[in-house]
Amino acid sequence: MVAAAAALIVFRLIRQPPILGYLLAGVLVGPFALQGRFVKDTETVSLVAEVGLVVLLFSIGVEFGWERIRRVGFRVVVIGAVEIAAMMTLGYIVGRALGWTPTTSVYLGAAMAFSSSAVLVQIMRESGQLMTLRGQLVVGVLVVEDFVAVMLLAVFAGYANQDSGGAVDVWPLVIKMIIFAIGALVFGALLAPRFMDLLDYLKSRETLLIGSMGICFGVGLLAHEMGLSAGAGAFLIGTVLGDTRHRDQVTRLISPVRDVFAALFFVSIGMLVNIAEIPEFFGVALIVTGVLVAGKVVAATIGTFLTGHDGETAIKVGTAMPQPGEFSLAIAKAGSEHSAVGTQLYPVVTISTLMASFTYPLVFRSYRVIGRIFDWLMPGRVKVKAGIFTTTIASARRGMGPRQLAPHGFKREIRSTAVSLGIIGLVVMAGVVISNAGTRLATDLGISAELIGVATLGVVVTLAVPSGLVLWNVIRELETLYMRRVLARFAGNTRLDVAEAIGTGLVSLLLLASGVWLVTRLLDIMSIGDVTTPVPALVMVLSAAVTATLASKVHWQMDRTFRRTLLGDAEPSGVDVGSGPE
């Protein structure tokens, strides 16, 4: 903090971004400078950086709110996909051109593909562009990048374990991340506003601040326990709080905390740079930095342009991206621990990250100059076609129009099916997490762990029943509609009624079989033995009976939250399951 304070004062006086001062201060007081006179423990430094990143991403989420990010929608996925694919390809080509092995080149491409959320958002906040279209698109792309980076880190970890029999299986991780993201948003939107109302009711700034940070680290810890990014979990719950009426109050309270942790984060990143390796790898790092900056500008610009934005907006987004950061260093570090990756990877990536940090503010502010260069290099015919393309995409996007508050007909049924399946998945996920935590706690307290699992199973099954009824109604209506359209012209009313009855019976059997299969899987996952013995059976019946009085209300609340949060519906259009306001 002494180094951060000194650097901040100096760089404010010379009118330079404080981030550069923090990084330089970290290099000078780190374990690799001055014989480690000030700081020697790199593991503690890395931990401080990770904690600082969690706080930074949480504050970013609160500032934006999920609604703003959701409105950006599919565009950021396209931009992120184009940029990541282009940078991984460029990194691999550069690595092979430098004479590196294919494995090392793959790691280099992955390290070059991701930008630093902390640096980009800090620069945008200081320039007053965080809430502009440029800021919204950049933050959306950063969210996509962070999730892909977490998956890549898991893949690389599995690859590192292949020699000892490990396997790279990415799909379970992808599914886990999707379920966690949806669960954090839905359960967060359902519970967090009520918890914040309670904190606000206590009329204590301290309570509101510490309670908000507790939510931040609680969800971050849950994500970490599931093998995901703690920062991603903190960001998601931050976006939920950003949509509550307490947003401005929370933002004011966490701003000083955010500034402190931002200083710690950037100084910590600087500390991880070994200045003794700079002369040896300076030339290679300079090449990597040049390719990284130019490649990210071009790739993000093209990706933004492909989503229907004009050239100026595309250039603004492109010039905001060329800054590697925390995930780049994490990937390089993971590579340095693998025998098939060259020892030059980590120092090159760290030095390149530092170089990019010094060039990034200049690139960020030079979008007009870079735009004029693009305009000068682009042939006139290409400009005309590009303008037509942009207009077409933008018109198509506007032509989709705002979503209806309550979709009708076939679309409504499909949405109801998706929502109900999503609710069942979230209830099952929550039940498994609670059962595992309860089982460990019961073991420590000397309580029967099986009874905890049985009680949780009863609650999960009961809460899933209303969604199952919705599915049964929707599928039955679709089956009836199909029968009437296809068979009406070939059969009389009597045969049609019989066909509909048979179809309804098949639908009922299908859903019943699915329910039995799900319960069987839960028995295995929760390590529950025989549920037919008197005590477990009684516990399950009691838990189900208590939950049954709330099941319909819980379903209606989750249906409304699911639709509002993920689908953008202002009001629920769910199928009636017997209770709950329409």
pLDDT over threshold 70, residue 232: yes
Residue with the larger pLDDT of the pair 581 and 95 = 95
pLDDT over threshold 50, residue 124: yes
CA distance linking residue 526 with residue 399, whole number of Å? 48
Q: Which of 278-292, 457-471, 531-545 has the highest mean pLDDT?
A: 278-292
Tokens 């509609």, residue? 481
Structure tokens belonging to residue 22: 């923090």
For residues 257-268, average pLDDT: 83
How many CB atoms are located within 10 Å of the residue 286 CB?
Answer: 14
Q: Report pLDDT for 130.
A: 79
How many CB atoms are located within 10 Å of the residue 25 CB?
Answer: 24
Going by the DSSP 8-state scheme, the letter that residue 404 receives in this structure is P
pLDDT over threshold 50, residue 405: no
pLDDT digits (tens, 9 = 90+) for 529-576: 666 677 777 777 788 787 887 888 888 888 888 887 777 665 544 444
Query: Is-contact 250 195, C-beta < 8 A?
Result: no
Q: Report pLDDT for 263.
A: 84
Residue with the larger pLDDT of the pair 534 and 138 = 138
CA distance linking residue 30 with residue 339, whole number of Å? 27
Alpha helices in 161-204 (DSSP H): 171-201
Q: Report pLDDT for 574.
A: 44
Query: Is-contact 335 107, C-beta < 8 A?
Result: yes
Residue with the larger pLDDT of the pair 436 and 570 = 436
Q: Is 131 helix (H, G, I), strand (E, B) or coil?
A: coil
Write a three-state SS string for 492-511: CHHHHHHHHHHHHHHHHHHH
CA distance linking residue 148 with residue 77, whole number of Å? 11
pLDDT digits (tens, 9 = 90+) for 482-506: 766 666 555 555 566 666 677 677 7
Phi-psi region of 402 (alpha: psi -120 to 50; beta: other; left: phi over 0): beta
In this prediction, residue 292 has a pLDDT band, given cuts at 50, 70 and 90, of: very high
Query: Is-contact 102 96, C-beta < 8 A?
Result: yes
- Looking at the chain, the whole-number percentage of residues with pLDDT higher than 70 is 81
Exposed/middle/buried for residue 382 (C-beta within 10 Å: 0-12, 13-18, 19+): exposed
pLDDT over threshold 50, residue 163: no
CA distance linking residue 116 with residue 262, whole number of Å? 13
pLDDT over threshold 70, residue 11: yes
Q: Report pLDDT for 576.
A: 44
Domains and CATH numbers, the chain: 2-375 (1.20.1530.20), 409-567 (no CATH)
Angle in degrees, CA 223, 133, 238, rounded to 5:
25
Q: Report pLDDT for 165.
A: 45
Instruction: Give the C-alpha distances (Å, rounded to integers) separating 438 from 252, 372, 427, 536.
Output: 37, 61, 16, 16
Query: Is-contact 288 108, C-beta < 8 A?
Result: yes
Amino acid identity for residue 34 in this structure: L
Q: Report pLDDT for 582.
A: 35
Which pTM does this prediction carry?
Answer: 0.72
Q: Report pLDDT for 274.
A: 77
For residues 316-328, average pLDDT: 84
Per the prediction, the chain carries an average pLDDT of 78
For residues 282-288, average pLDDT: 91
Instruction: Count CA atoms closer than 13 A to 102's CA, side-chain side.
Output: 0
Instruction: Give the C-alpha distances (Å, rounded to integers) separating 569 from 62, 164, 403, 412, 424.
Output: 21, 49, 7, 11, 20
Q: Which of 305, 257, 350, 247 is nearest to 26 (CA)?
A: 350
Angle in degrees, CA 382, 383, 388, rounded to 5:
95
Amino acid identity for residue 310 in this structure: D
How many CB atoms are located within 10 Å of the residue 50 CB?
Answer: 18
Structure tokens belonging to residue 41: 């423990």
Q: Is 227 helix (H, G, I), strand (E, B) or coil?
A: coil
Q: Report pLDDT for 395.
A: 60
Q: Which of 116-125, 378-387, 435-444 has the highest mean pLDDT?
A: 116-125
In this prediction, residue 23 has a pLDDT band, given cuts at 50, 70 and 90, of: confident
Length of the chain: 582
